[in-house]
Amino acid sequence: MTVYEAEVPGVGHKFELELGDEERLIVIIHHDGKREIYLRPGKNQDSEKLFSLTGKLARQLGSILEGAYFQPVEMDDIQVPLGEAIIEWTDVDPSAPLIGQSLQEATIRERTGVSIMAIQRGEETIANPQPDTTIKANDVLVSLGTRDEQQQFAELVDSGSDGT
Amino acid sequence: MSDTLLFEIGIALTGIAVAGTVANRISLSVIPAYIAMGILIGPNEPSTIAGISLTLVDQREFIDVVAELGIVFLLFFLGVEFSISQLLNDRRRIAKIGSIDFLVNFSLGIGLGLAFGYSLLETFFLAGIVYISSSAVISKSLIESGWVANAESGPILGTLVFEDILIAVYLALLTAVAGGGGTVMDAAVAIGGAFVFLGGLTLIAWYGSSIVEQVFDTDSDELFLLRILGITTLIAGFALTLGLSEAVAAFFVGTAFSETDHIERIESVVTPTRDFFAAVFFFSIGLTTEITLLTDLIWLLLAAVLVTTVGKVISGSLSGRIYRLDRRRSMRVGVGLVPRGEFSLVIATLAASVGTGALGGEIPVFAVGYVLVMSVVGTLLIQNADRVFEGITTASRVARPD
């Protein structure tokens, strides 16, 4: 989306935002700080004035639009920058073969490639669990690894086909 | 006299305030209202109503000085708001539409002057008065009509930018010629001097931006205002003592600021002072106008109003075409450029200061009448542009039934 900027001599600045189709939103910022917002429905149509704001109100509205007051979480956009790796939360089934083993005994990293970053157990979270931490039923294992590694790990927790 | 001075100034300022309020009520430009108030309570006719004297303000000295400051700061702001970057970005189209605007309307002014038997110099003044559109009235009307957000604002404002440059050159030339001794040699020397001075100011404006930036860097708005008023008035006054145009000097001082970060601050801090000076300037024009002289000039006035309105509509429509606008919008460009105002009066003031022949009497009076009509007619045309457009298209269909 292009933003067009032009000076309006003796008045201030004009910004035009393309809204798609031929529609444009036009913002005029006067030298005295007043803002006027217009909507132009099409190329050959007249702009209609939507509203005008003082400089102070405009800044407040701007922060609201920017999400400074309330930021909805847009699920599609969550990207943790870990390169190829992703983080997964895996429930340990009460029948899973890993139960009762310590992390060291389960040799999760050697077998699947993921590392266990944390264990969520009921209300508490064990961050950076030690190798001698025992895996219990209904734990949630937080693991870091590539998509393939996570896939193998999920199978390991699920089926218990430990390949030995 | 001096003990009534303050009282008279009080009456004048109150009169200006009342005139402005009335103009705002009926959503017309304040400029003709200030002039009308000056005519009404000034020493010239009409001077009585039912035997009651209307000459409330006769004190000229103070008002003259403030009016002069009005001219200086109108032109200073023209320089401050003068956008070199916009001019350069769009120079091809602006040069085209500016030339069309100048050729059509200045030529019409020359034609009018010669047809009514004025001398060459007088005709030159007249042509300037009818050529130059009013930035103040037009930008206000553009905002009120919402056109500022439409495509037609491009060519309208582009034309005004071109006119700004032209008026600076024109005023410099006229001041040199009118102030010269009258022989060709004198005029040539005067013009040469004027351009050396302007060239110097341009260079200072161009290369002095960073110095200007530092000199005017202060936290206090009060000090900032005083520095601006001081330096501008100083340079404009100095130019005047050299026999050059103070208005043009002020314009160049303004352009020195146009590329700095001070613009926003000038707009917020200096504008009220400019508005005060300018209002007194328009009022003082009314004070000095012998409005009864207009009866002798009525034919010139009617001809000028008619011809120059049509002239701007035609030249503006052509300009709109260059910007590839449709017919309705092109027509709006023409209508949008009809209002004349402050710059015509600046030229008229220069004419009055020369004071020979028609320049001392008829031309300034004509200019006042002309601006009174054109600022009102122009505003009304902009407000009713679409109806005007319908009217013209219907008329042209009747003329050429197809």
DSSP string, B105-125: HHHHHHHHHHHTT--HHHHHH
Interchain proximity B264–A26, CB inside 8 Å: no
Return the higher-pLDDT residue of A82 and B77: B77
Question: Percent of chain B, pLDDT > 70?
Answer: 93
Tell me the CA distances in angstroms from B124 to B175, B192, B251, B345, B355, one per residue in order.
Answer: 12, 19, 21, 14, 15
Separation between Cα atoms, residue A101 and residue B9, nearest integer Å: 98
Residue type at B5 in one-letter notation: L
Question: What pLDDT, in 10s, does the model give residues B4-51?
Answer: 778 888 888 999 999 999 999 988 889 999 999 998 888 776 666 655
Chain A CB contacts of B85 below 8 Å: 7
Separation between Cα atoms, residue B248 and residue B342, nearest integer Å: 14
Residue type at B26 in one-letter notation: I
Return the higher-pLDDT residue of A116 and B213: A116
pLDDT at B97: 95
Closest CA of chain B from A1, distance in Å: 19
Question: What pLDDT, in 10s, does the model give residues B114-155?
Answer: 999 999 889 999 999 999 999 889 988 998 888 988 889 889
Separation between Cα atoms, residue B59 and residue B42, nearest integer Å: 9
Maximum mean pLDDT: which of A76-85, A132-141, B223-232, B383-392: B223-232
Separation between Cα atoms, residue B375 and residue B360, nearest integer Å: 23
Q: How confident is the model at residue B280 (pLDDT cuts 50, 70, 90)?
A: very high
Of B271, B218, B339, B222, nearest to B81 (Cα)?
B271
Q: How confident is the model at residue B282 (pLDDT cuts 50, 70, 90)?
A: very high
Q: What is the pTM of this model?
A: 0.76
pLDDT at A92: 85
Name the one residue in this structure whose structure tokens are 């109806």: B387
Chain B CB contacts of A38 below 8 Å: 146, 149
Residue A28 phi, psi dihedral angles, 5° rounding: -110, 120
pLDDT at A72: 64
The residues that bridge with B4 in the sheet, in sequence order, are: none
pLDDT at A34: 87
Return the higher-pLDDT residue of B22 and B198: B22
Q: Which two tokens stand for residue B303?
A: 């001809």
Q: How many CB atoms lie within 10 A of CB B136?
A: 21
pLDDT at B144: 87
Q: How confident is the model at residue B177 (pLDDT cuts 50, 70, 90)?
A: confident
| Average pLDDT score, chain B | 87
Cβ(B149)–Cβ(A40) below 8 Å: yes
Cα R_g (chain A), whole angstroms: 28
Question: What pLDDT, in 10s, does the model give residues B315-358?
Answer: 999 999 999 999 999 999 999 999 999 999 999 999 988 877 77
Interface test with B, best of A22, A37, A47, A49 (most B CBs within 10 A): A47
Q: Taking residues B292-308, report their average pLDDT.
A: 92
Interchain proximity A9–B157, CB inside 8 Å: yes
pLDDT at B29: 87
Interchain proximity B149–A49, CB inside 8 Å: yes
* Residues of chain A with a CB closer than 8 angstroms to some CB in chain B: 6-11, 14, 26, 28, 31-33, 36, 38, 40, 43-44, 46-49
Q: DSSP secondary-structure letter at B60?
A: -
Interchain proximity A14–B149, CB inside 8 Å: yes
Chain B CB contacts of A7 below 8 Å: 83, 85-86
pLDDT at A3: 86
pLDDT at A163: 43
- Considering only the beta carbons, identify the residue of A8, A31, A33 that sits closest to B153: A8
What element of type H or E holds B219?
none
- Considering only the beta carbons, identify the residue of A7, A44, A49 that sits closest to B146: A49
Tell me the CA distances in angstroms from A109 to A105, A150, B263, one per residue in order.
Answer: 11, 11, 64
pLDDT at B168: 85
Whether the predicted pLDDT of B267 surpasses 50: yes
Q: How confident is the model at residue B53 (pLDDT cuts 50, 70, 90)?
A: low
- Considering only the beta carbons, identify the residue of A11, A43, A44 that sits closest to B139: A11
The domains found in chain B, sorted by start residue, are 66-282+295-369 (1.20.1530.20)
Of B124, B248, B263, B144, nearest to B195 (Cα)?
B248
Low-confidence residues of chain A: pLDDT under 70: 1, 70-82, 159-164
Of B317, B334, B336, B314, nearest to B326 (Cα)?
B317
pLDDT at A164: 41
Q: How many CB atoms lie within 10 A of CB B2?
A: 6
Instruction: Please list the alpha-helical segments (H only) found in B132-152.
Output: 135-145
Interchain proximity A49–B83, CB inside 8 Å: no
Q: Which two tokens stand for residue B73?
A: 């700061």
Maximum mean pLDDT: which of A2-11, B155-164, B305-314: B305-314
Separation between Cα atoms, residue B170 and residue B245, nearest integer Å: 10
Residue type at B341 in one-letter notation: G
String of DSSP letters for A78-137: -----TT-EEEEEE--TT-TTTT-BHHHHTHHHHH--EEEEEEETTEEEES--TTPBP-T
